[in-house]
Amino acid sequence: MAEIERAKALADTQAILETEVSHDALNYADDVDPVISTGQGLNESIVRQISAAKNEPAWMLALRLEAYNIYRQATLPTYGPDLSKIDFDKIYYYNKPTAERYRDWADVPTTLKTTFERLGVPEAERRWLAGSSAQFESEVVYHRLKKEFEQLGIIFTDMDTAVQEYPELVRAYFGSLVGPNDNFFTALNGAVWSGGTFIYVPKGVEVKVPIQSYFRINRANEGQFERTLIIVEEGAHVEYVEGCSAPMYSGEAMHAAVVEVIVKAHAYARYTTIQNWSKNVYSLETKRAYAYENATMEWIDGNFGSKVTMKYPSVYLQGRGARGTMLSIAVAGAGIQLDSGARMIHNAPQTTSSIISKSIAHNGGRTDYRGDVRFGKDAAGSFAHIECDTILMDDLSAADTLPYNRIENGLVTLEHEAKVSKLSESQLQYCMSRGISERDTTAMIIMGFAEPFIKELPMEYAVELNRLMSFEMTGSVG
């Protein structure tokens, strides 16, 4: 029955594909003045000001200052898209939109509430989420977990609250997977992080209803640096979904998040992202998970918009029988460069990993897959599968597959395949000869190409993905 309902919902979205749409439907900004702003630029005084505004304990300030000192010496990545045009002195590193965090949607200020209602956040919460949070600029302004899940001992809150209320858990795991020394942007995040999500699922507890967070950048030159930490105890189960959006400005904005997910023995975690940044946003994220004995970690990643994306979610397979998967789709149009992929690090025997990357480039867009799969000396009996498929819609668009595979154990298996194809003239002509328009034919081909990704999403997100793909492809065909 669930599959039938899902099929009907997806079928309904075909009407969307037949309608002329544009990004204007999502490209709006609300007039919200922050109650606290550190202004543009960054120095040690601002790092201290951010910590003081949050009334943080001394140990967190020490972590921030350590990260800031590393950041001052760090250099931008030498691979991938050109980041040299980012003016870090123009970025607002901390803007607090409200003085409070809210657990009742009715209490959220009208200007903020309107933003998230347009994005469907409260409706989704009422219909199908176990919990929901909403971050506007630098701070989470609303979060709530349904009582039936709270009673199971699950913790779902923002990271700032977690530092205050669950310091032992935060100190034990914060930065344990992604430290400030990892790269330029993890150092920057460590110094100025704000907001983000904290989830703790006790041993044996299953949360099969998704928990959602939504991140909104609302102003020009805004920097959003949330920090997410998810701890899934032995035998537990959690599914987390995040959405991201921003309006279009002449000034550039930056999103440099850090995500750490710890999946303990026999546990399961799925982390789904639908990113719909505007074309003035640099999306520069570090996402990493550790999976222990017989644990499963799944990344589901959809990338739309943004001027530049650099994102390579990883799974470190640390225990025998651990499993990691990455399923992603990237759609790039004019002026967009998406450099994305995955890392699977096999550090234990009989581990398995799967990377399936799908991308579509049109109107001169560029989509590159950058992957890293490694088998350590203790990875005997392990298996990895990598599959990269790209469709180029025209001669202006481009794509590259850039894999790095390292094998230190001869008793492993690695499969890698990559395919780049152009929209088939024969397919178009065949369908058009039977009365189907070029636009509808192209839509059918593209949605069929994306179907393996779409079917893994919650139904409401599958519908939303169809809508976003329609937005991206408008003007490309027909």
Flag whether 478 is in a domain: no
| Strand pairing class (139-145; 131-136) | antiparallel
Mean pLDDT per block of 10 residues along the chain (478 residues) reads 43 36 42 66 95 95 98 94 92 72 55 54 50 59 66 89 96 97 97 92 89 69 89 96 62 89 97 82 95 97 86 97 93 89 97 93 90 97 94 86 94 91 71 74 68 64 57 48
Range of the domain at 168: 2-473
Single-letter amino acid, residue 404 = Y
What pLDDT, on the 0 to 100 scale, is given for residue 242?
83
What pLDDT, on the 0 to 100 scale, is given for residue 25?
41
What pLDDT, on the 0 to 100 scale, is given for residue 311?
94
Token pair, residue 138, equals 């630098």
Number of independent structural domains in the chain: 1
- Global pTM reads 0.85
Q: Are 222 and 255 in contact (CB under 8 A)?
A: no
What pLDDT, on the 0 to 100 scale, is given for residue 132?
59
Measuring CA to CA, which residue among 275, 247, 276 is closest to residue 30? 247
All residues at 6 or more sequence positions from 289 whose CB lies less than 8 Å from its CB, including other chains:
177, 260, 261, 262, 263, 269, 271, 297, 299, 313, 314, 315, 316, 324
Q: Are 140 and 133 in contact (CB under 8 A)?
A: yes
Flag whether 423 is in a domain: yes
d(CA 343, CA 414): 14
Residues 154-164: pLDDT tens digits?
898 889 999 99
Token pair, residue 271, equals 């982390």
Flag whether 356 is in a domain: yes
CA dist 236 → 78, 129, 202 (Å): 39, 18, 7
Flag whether 380 is in a domain: yes
What pLDDT, on the 0 to 100 scale, is given for residue 394?
83
DSSP string, 345-395: EE-STT-EEEEEEEEEE-TT-EEEEEEEEEE-TT-TT-EEEEEEEEEE-ST
All residues at 6 or more sequence positions from 436 whose CB lies less than 8 Å from its CB, including other chains:
444
Token pair, residue 381, equals 């009996």
Flag whether 47 is in a domain: yes
d(CA 26, CA 431): 32
Residues 379-401: pLDDT tens digits?
999 999 999 988 888 888 888 98
DSSP 222: B
Single-letter amino acid, residue 189 = N
What pLDDT, on the 0 to 100 scale, is given for residue 4?
41
All residues at 6 or more sequence positions from 260 whose CB lies less than 8 Å from its CB, including other chains:
173, 174, 175, 176, 177, 178, 228, 229, 230, 288, 289
Phi, psi of 464 (to 5 degrees): -65, -40
What pLDDT, on the 0 to 100 scale, is given for residue 20?
32
Three-state secondary-structure class, residue 398: strand
